[in-house]
Amino acid sequence: MKTRNILPLFLAACLLLSVFAPAFGSAEEETVTLRVCNWEEYIDLGDWDPEEETIDLESGDILGENSLVQDFEEWYHETFGVRVKVEYSTFGTNEDLYNMLTIGDVYDLVCPSEYMIMKLMSEDKVQPLSEDFFDPEKETNYYIKGVSPYIRNIFETHEINGVTWDRCAAGYMWGITGFVYNPEKVSEEDASTWKLLENRDYNRQITMKDNVRDAYFAAVGALKGEKLISEEFRDGENYTAELQDEMNDVSPETVNRVQDYLQGIKDNLYSFETDSGKADMITGKVVANYQWSGDAVYAMDQAEEDEYYLNFAVPQESTNIYFDGWIMLKSGIGEDQAKQQAAEAFINFLSRPDSVIRNMYYIGYTSAISGGEDGRIYEYLEWNYSAEDDEEEVVEYPVGYFFTGDPEDEDYVLTVPEEQIGRQLSAQYPSQNVIQRASIMVYFNEAQSELINRMWVRVRCFNILSVPVVVWIVLAVLIAAAVMVYFWQKREKEKMYR
């Protein structure tokens, strides 16, 4: 009897609530909702320990109290008088993000890597940044005022379908690829080449990322190693452009050679890893790990806490320089001006030097922002890496290319302890030497991507043709025997019942 009474009551309550809910909402002022999708663990979530973690720069302390997203919401309200609500979500890989967009998830602002930005741009899914965003006179335009000249140059000189990257994308983090290695087990010389992957001395002691693009790039670099390090090639007039062409070679012959190469090194590696590489370096299961520089910094930091030192080396052949950048999506922003303004303000807020420092400290990756006239980011670098006054073995480490675009700029030369070379600093801010041989990995069209993906599947799958004929014969005999035994038993049984 009771159930009959409760159900209608419950339904009535629900109905009443749904009638009144909008009325409660309208008491609030107008809010802009901003749907942001970023990599996992790729933004400062705050909650730092004030005692231990305050970054005490001379220009003032920096401390992540609340998450950057929360700080943005407050800042936006104070600055523009409009409330904004950020719906923050994360993705695991660029391909996941693309699949999420395909099945109809809508975001206003996302942060994929350069090749995915190029793919989305080529599919006309990206909303260009407004003219206003590029106005350096405006107080709150932290991005355009602070973006590193080095990064800016790359974004302005690369285009897809006639549109340069910088019109659509704002750099967030960047880095290179290289080997984190245990200097007690691996020599620096061995670690400074992609040939480390095939080095029999470290048989089954090296991991690399389980990722077709990284594996492809490394294999191409190893295969073309001789040419890439030859002086003739290095001194060539169009070295940078030619290097990029060589490293992005996806001709069928090269894809085939890469397949053979990867199949060859598969048994020489410990494994391809999705996420265990950092931990395995720290616990000592492997002696080297081909890794993204941001994660390399993380691994080195973690190891240091246990009084255990890891180093970072960049292949002498070349290295993959990669970017993650913010882009606005047409499907989310549409014609909504208020939303676009909030999205661009979000990029600017994250590019404000104190936010940049908080992010770099928190996630270990290197920001694309150098700060422009605001000196705090360079100050943070000094705070982080500079040698103490009484230290004796120090070296000079110029980072002018990143801060002013002039590699020889004397104002941007760090004086660091010698041992820092080959550790976090050279992963976070690669030396001018490394930058010269860095190449981006472009976006391949569908046919090329298909070719590479198929190659990767072939590398990873068990090859049925590799099973010797003998095994097949033995198997066939066994199955035949099993079938015969089964029927024989069945007949025996039937005999018994008769």
Partner 1 sequence: MRFSRKTLGIPYGVFLTLFVVAPLLVLFYYAFTNGQGQFTVKNLTDFFTDPNTMGTLVYSLAIALTTTALCLLIAYPVAYILATSRLKAKSVIIMIFVMPMWINFSLRITALKEILTAIEGNLAYYPFLNSVLGMTYDFLPFMILPIYNTIVKLDVSLNEAARDLGADGRRAFLRVTLPLSVPGIVSGISMVFLPAMTNYVVLDMLYNSTYIMGSLIGSYFSAYNWHGGSMIALVLLGFICLFTLLADGGEDENARTGGALL
User: Using CB under 8 A, which of 31, 384, 415, 449 touches partner 1?
Assistant: 449
With respect to partner 1, which residue has the nearer C-beta, 205 or 331?
Answer: 205
Nearest Cα residue to 364 out of 44, 97, 109: 44
95 or 418: CB nearest partner 1: 95
Q: Which string of x and - marks every residue 310-339 that binds partner 1 (by CB under 8 A)?
A: ------------------------------
Tokens describing residue 486: 């089964």
Nearer to partner 1, 413 or 475 (CB): 475
H-helix or E-strand containing 169?
Answer: strand 169-175
Nearer to partner 1, 204 or 234 (CB): 204
Question: Which residue from 228, 225, 222 is spatially nearest to 243, judged by alpha carbons?
Answer: 228
Query: Distance between CA 66 and CA 86 in Å, rounded?
Result: 14
Query: Could you give the string, one character per residue 140-179, with x where binding to partner 1 holds by CB under 8 A and - elsewhere?
Result: ----------------------------------------
Choose between 18 and 463: whose C-beta lies nearer to partner 1.
Answer: 463
Q: Which stretch binds partner 1 (CB under 8 A): 4-12, 41-49, 65-73, 331-339?
A: 4-12
224: Cα within 13 Å, side-chain hemisphere: 24
**Which residues ranging from 59 to 98 are in contact with partner 1 (CB under 8 A)?**
93, 95-96, 98
Residue 263 beta carbon to partner 1: minimum distance, rounded to whole angstroms: 11
Task: List the one residue from 13, 21, 106, 457 that touches partner 1 (CB under 8 A).
Answer: 457
Residue closer to partner 1 by CB (options 26, 463) is 463
Contact 196, 190 (CB under 8 A): yes
Contacting residues for 497 by C-beta, under 8 A, at least 6 apart: none
Min. distance of Cβ 239 from partner 1 in angstroms? 33
CB neighbour burial string for 267-287, b if at least 16 within 10 angstroms, e if fewer: eebbbbbeebbbebbbeeebb
Please identify, using beta-carbon distances, which residue of 53 and 450 lies nearer to partner 1.
Answer: 450
| Contact status: 99 vs partner 1 (CB under 8 A) | yes
Task: Determine if 460 is a binding residue for partner 1 (CB under 8 A).
Answer: yes
- Nearest approach, Cβ of 473 to partner 1 (angstroms)? 15
Residue 46 near residue 66, CB atoms below 8 Å: yes
Binding mask 477-496 for partner 1 (x = CB under 8 A): ----------------x---
Burial profile 73-104: b = 16 or more Cβ within 10 angstroms, e = fewer: bebbeeeeeebbebebeebeebeebbebbeee
- The SS3 call for residue 26 is coil
Asked if 216 is part of the footprint of partner 1 (rule: CB under 8 A), the reply reads: no
3-state secondary structure of 170: strand
Q: Pattern of binders to partner 1 over 7-36, x per CB under 8 A?
A: xx----------------------------
Residues between 236 and 275 with contacts to partner 1, criterion CB under 8 A: 266, 269-274
463 near partner 1, judged by CB under 8 A: yes
**Contact with partner 1 (CB under 8 A) among 54, 240, 458, 485:** 458
Q: Toward partner 1, which CB reaches closer, 118 or 356?
A: 118
- Least distance between partner 1 and beta carbon 293 (Å): 23
What is the C-alpha separation between 38 and 42, in angstroms, rounded?
7
Pick the piece of the chain touching partner 1 (CB under 8 A) from 70-78, 105-113, 135-143, 457-465. Answer: 457-465
Residues 6+ apart with CB under 8 A from 265: 197, 198, 219
User: How far is the CA of 222 from the CAs of 253, 271, 312, in angstroms?
Assistant: 15, 18, 18
Q: Which two tokens stand for residue 400?
A: 């002018």
Q: How many residues bind partner 1 (CB under 8 A)?
A: 38
DSSP assignments along 82-106, one per residue: -EEEEEEEEESSHHHHHHHHHTT--
Please identify which residue in 102, 253, 389, 491 interacts with partner 1, judged by CB under 8 A: 102
Q: How far is the CB of 486 from partner 1 (least distance, A)?
A: 11
Rounded to whole angstroms, the Cα distance separating 445 from 63 reads 44
* Alpha helices for 306-445 (secondary structure H): 330-333, 337-350, 353-363, 376-385, 400-403, 424-428, 432-436
Residue 125 near partner 1 by CB under 8 A: no
**DSSP-assigned letters across all residues of 27-59:** TSPPEEEEEEEEETT-S------HHHH-EEETT
Please check whether residue 182 is in contact with residue 247, taking contact to mean a CB–CB distance below 8 angstroms. Answer: no
Q: Could you tell me the smallest distance in angstroms from the CB atom of residue 489 to partner 1? A: 11
SS3 call for 262? helix
Give the residues lining the site for partner 1 (CB under 8 A).
3-4, 7-8, 93, 95-96, 98-99, 102, 204-205, 210, 266, 269-274, 276, 285, 449-450, 453, 456-458, 460-467, 493, 497
